Amino acid sequence: MEQTAAAKHAAAYRLRQKQKKAELGIATVTIEVAQGIAAQLPDFLKLHGFDNAQELYQTLVLYVLRAPKDEAAQILKPHTLGFVVNENLTRKLEAAGMAEVDPDAEE
């Protein structure tokens, strides 16, 4: 089955775009993010003056790449909130888990 003129034109266009990106050294990277992050992203972009997520991602990566080694390590280190499950809390959680569930209670 031979391609239509429109299909040939579209294929040639995609090839030209691919070659142009190769000449410029542009690579495509797919990033998956949690829905919560994706939902907050548009407001964050607008707040900080970014036009699109690609611009934000590139800025952040360049910032980390150009930072001194110790500063980059600090930036990339996961930050915890210091939440600790102590013995008292463990007992409460176990008690709550062992409690009988009322089958007539509404969820």
- Range 70-87 average pLDDT: 86
Burial class (CB in 10 A: 0-12, 13-18, 19+), 61: exposed
The confidence band for 89, taking pLDDT boundaries of 50, 70 and 90, is confident
Residue 106 has pLDDT above 90, yes or no: no
The confidence band for 70, taking pLDDT boundaries of 50, 70 and 90, is very high
pLDDT tens per residue, range 46-63: 999 999 999 999 999 999
As a whole number of angstroms, the distance between CA 54 and CA 60 comes to 10
Q: Which amino acid is at 88?
A: N
Q: Which of 85, 98, 14, 28 lies closest to 58 in space, CA to CA? A: 28
Distances (CA, A) of 106 to 40, 95, 98, 102: 33, 21, 19, 9
